[in-house]
Amino acid sequence: MKKILVAHDGSKSSGKALKKGFELAEKFGSGVTVVSVIPELYLTELMEMDRIRIFETLTEEAKKMMEKIRTEAKGVRQVKTVILQGNPAEEILKAAKKIKAGLIVTGSHGRHGAQKFLLGSVSSKIVDYADCSVLVVK
């Protein structure tokens, strides 16, 4: 297992997934790519200016979170962080395919837990459509 992709959204569950991804990377000498996806806001009834402000805030939060992850990744051979925008499950799957991940590690519940009732769970979509193995961490 050369490459591990960890999906991270800042939730407690994704923090556990990150920890597990780093443990596996240390054990197997794998590189880790941590992916955070900023969801599209076009479906909401917000004015364009508000959408831009929210997007900028979410992007800044993601950048800070990724910087913290890079500094805390001791013992892992290689850590890359990526911030994407779009549908979280789709972007995570595309990123995993692009880097040829051998494993995707994701939390069981994301930061936006109520959305799973409307859109379906990100982790279950990843499990259903991934080309590689998936570890869902509770």
User: Domains in the chain, please, with CATH?
Assistant: 3-7+18-137 (3.40.50.620)
135 — phi, psi (to 5°)?
A: -115, 120
Render each residue's pLDDT in the chain as its tens digit; 138 residues: 799 999 999 989 899 999 999 999 999 999 999 999 998 776 566 677 887 888 899 999 999 999 999 888 877 879 999 999 999 999 999 999 999 999 999 998 765 544 444 334 888 899 999 999 999 998
Place of tokens 């990843």: 126
Give CA–CA dist 70/52, Å, rounded: 27
Q: pTM for the whole thing? A: 0.87
Give CA–CA dist 14/134, Å, rounded: 14
